[in-house]
């Protein structure tokens, strides 16, 4: 190919330097672009060069150049580095975003995932050439089955939601095999949004059950909803209020009683690791968010993994091919009544490798300590907040606590959103807010086990200070600082609803740069 710099790129040419780390907006890469610039520093090799027209049939060639950004290597590195400095992440500080388990991930797991022997293997390499990889995958599957109390698993699904759909397709295949046309799947009203979405994608209608006065599944309502057309129930335990469903065995009996299956949304597995297993609670299908609990950060758009584990009677339906033990070695096999592939090759293999590494690091005892510390931190934090915020369900929690800013709002006008924004000025990532919907002005806080007692104390101090400050300003009749927050971050308060409702998902590089 010709080494000439491509032309016809985006206009731009805006200067950018360190001052942009302040409040000014970082330009887009297109705004930094200047025609003819390139981010390479290769010397002429003397080897023959061909133009694209000599190599690619005419009908496949573009009529005009792609308007790519043209920037020097220096400008590119500066741009990306400035952006990375404006970014808050788990490596920077506490990230108590409830339901997301944004805990610190040990770097040794990343190191293992970057070993060339793992990283550089082509996924289509035949089993004989990847015996080490297959062994690792088989061992991971076995460990996940031991943790969940299941018989077999697929490692293919790429995220929690992908695992949910896989599980529901298994549920459907199971019922169809016995000639039953079931149409509804029960989910609690506090369920994560992906649950009803997966139910619909899986071809079922959603049947909702409410929450009782203790914050748990309303069993009287469940009894009314259950009928022979119910394919199953999807639950997360602890639930999204951070509460353990104490009557889970009774619930399992009720669902199994109408011939339904129990699906465990394992996104909240962190606090029960090594303590209790979904299999022992009566669940038939489980997904795990490896990108929460097992050493890959959740969020941020990176790859994830949502393996699905099932009981023995469902194992034949798992996606395939699956890595399996074959005599002294390892191979691939597709279960006899498999629902088919749900991901290419072995799934997101490097996320799986991180999880294997995390399990090897911690062992059974270490995992139990992970769970215990996550529960301790959440309960300790919650007790510190007593009096400043409302406790909608005043019971010990598992790994996260949901408190309400309803009284604070009534007394001061400061809402959960304002508390979250003010917390950014105290140097913490915001908790999840307004979820679960069953709690008014909800703040869902998950400190995770990886934060030190001092950091959890500082988080509690910050939340208390925000509430006290709001009350003091309400008494004095002065402007509420929380309403104007955040003022110390690279960007101030955004119109988040506007951004979601008027989605502009593309950038037109041909447009001239805007000042």
Binding residues vs ligand PLP (CB under 6 A): 99-100, 159-161, 192, 194, 236, 240, 265, 267-268, 289, 304, 306
Of residues 74 and 437, the one with the C-beta less far from ligand PLP: 437
Q: Which of 449, 476, 450, 385 is nearest to 423 (CA)?
A: 385
Residue 504's CB: how many other CB atoms inside 10 A?
A: 7
CA distances from 100 to 96, 188, 225, 259, 430 (A): 8, 19, 30, 32, 12
Q: In terms of CB distance, is 33 or 293 closer to ligand PLP?
A: 293
Considering beta carbons, is residue 299 or 331 the nearer one to ligand PLP? 299
Give the integer Cα–Cα distance in Å for 316 and 395: 41
Distance CA 331, CA 312 (A): 21
How far apart are CB 402 and ligand PLP at their closest, in Å?
Answer: 13
Closest approach of Cβ 405 to ligand PLP, in Å? Answer: 21
Note if the bond before 321 is cis, omega within 30 degrees: yes
**In the 8-state DSSP scheme, what is residue 393?**
S
Closer residue to ligand PLP in complex, CB, 187/385: 187
CB of 291 to ligand PLP, least distance (A): 6
Would you state the structure tokens that stand for residue 401, as one six-digit string? 């606590």
**Distance separating alpha carbons of residues 99 and 240, to the nearest angstrom:** 7
CB of 502 to ligand PLP, least distance (A): 24
Other beta carbons within 10 angstroms of residue 241's beta carbon come to 26
Cβ closer to ligand PLP: 289 or 311?
289
With tokens 């220096």, the residue in question is: 74
| Shortest separation between residue 237's beta carbon and ligand PLP, angstroms | 10
Minimum gap (Å) between residue 112 Cβ and ligand PLP: 22
Least Cβ distance, residue 244 to ligand PLP (angstroms): 14
**Residue whose C-beta lies closest to ligand PLP:** 160
Nearer to ligand PLP by Cβ, of 35 and 88: the residue is 88
Q: How many angstroms separate the CA atoms of 438 and 241, rounded?
A: 9
**Judged by CB, which is closer to ligand PLP: 306, or 490?**
306
**Residue closer to ligand PLP (CB basis): 271 or 306:** 306
Strand (E) or helix (H) holding 479: none
Asked if residue 141 lies in contact with residue 332, where contact means CB atoms within 8 angstroms, the answer is: no
Minimum distance, C-beta of residue 15 to ligand PLP, in the bound complex (Å): 39
- Alpha-carbon torsion (401, 206, 281, 258), positive or negative: positive
């Amino acid at each position: 190919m010709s080494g000439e710099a491509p032309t016809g790129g985006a206009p731009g040419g805006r200067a950018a330097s360190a001052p942009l780390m302040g409040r000014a907006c970082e330009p887009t890469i297109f705004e930094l672009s200047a025609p003819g610039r390139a981010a390479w520093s290769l010397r002429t090799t003397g080897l023959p060069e061909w133009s694209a027209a000599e190599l690619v049939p005419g009908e496949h060639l573009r009529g005009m150049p792609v308007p790519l950004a043209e920037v020097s290597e220096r400008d590119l590195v500066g741009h990306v580095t400035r952006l990375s400095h404006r970014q808050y992440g788990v490596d920077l500080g506490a990230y108590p975003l409830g339901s997301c388990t944004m805990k610190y991930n040990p770097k040794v797991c990343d190191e293992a995932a970057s070993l060339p022997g793992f990283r550089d293997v082509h996924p289509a390499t035949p089993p004989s050439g990847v015996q080490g990889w297959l062994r690792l995958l088989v061992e991971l599957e076995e460990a996940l089955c031991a943790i969940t109390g299941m018989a077999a698993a697929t490692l293919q699904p790429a995220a929690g939601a992908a695992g949910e759909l896989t599980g529901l397709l298994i549920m459907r295949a199971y019922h169809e095999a016995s000639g039953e046309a079931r149409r509804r799947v029960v989910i609690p009203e506090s369920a994560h949004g992906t649950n009803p979405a997966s139910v619909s994608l899986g071809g079922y209608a959603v049947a909702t059950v409410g929450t009782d006065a203790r914050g748990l599944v309303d069993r009287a309502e469940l009894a009314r909803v259950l009928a022979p057309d119910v394919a199953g129930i999807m639950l997360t335990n602890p639930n999204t209020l951070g509460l353990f469903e104490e009557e889970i065995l009774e619930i399992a009996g009720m669902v199994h009683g109408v011939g339904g299956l129990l699906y465990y949304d394992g996104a909240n597995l962190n606090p029960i690791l090594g303590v209790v297993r979904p299999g022992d609670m009566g669940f038939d299908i489980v997904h795990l968010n490896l990108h929460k609990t097992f050493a890959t950060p959740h969020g941020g758009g990176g790859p994830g993994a949502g393996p699905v584990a099932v009981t023995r009677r469902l194992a034949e339906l798992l996606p395939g091919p699956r890595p399996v033990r074959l005599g002294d070695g390892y191979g691939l096999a597709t279960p006899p009544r498999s629902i088919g592939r749900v991901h290419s090759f072995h799934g997101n293999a490097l996320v799986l490798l991180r999880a294997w590494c995390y399990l090897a690091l911690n062992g059974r005892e270490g995992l139990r300590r992970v769970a215990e510390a996550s529960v301790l931190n959440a309960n300790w934090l919650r007790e510190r907040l007593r009096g400043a915020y409302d406790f909608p369900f005043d019971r010990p929690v598992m790994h996260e606590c949901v408190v309400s800013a309803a009284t604070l709002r009534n007394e001061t006008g400061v809402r959960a959103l304002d508390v979250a924004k003010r917390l950014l000025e105290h140097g913490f990532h915001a908790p999840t807010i307004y979820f679960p919907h069953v709690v008014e002005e909800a703040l869902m806080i998950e400190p995770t086990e990886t934060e030190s007692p001092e950091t959890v104390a500082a988080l509690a101090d910050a939340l208390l200070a925000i509430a006290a400050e709001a009350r003091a300003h309400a008494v004095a009749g002065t402007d509420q600082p929380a309403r104007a927050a955040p003022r110390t971050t690279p960007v101030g308060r955004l119109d988040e609803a506007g951004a979601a409702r008027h989605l502009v998902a593309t950038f037109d590089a041909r447009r001239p740069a805007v000042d």
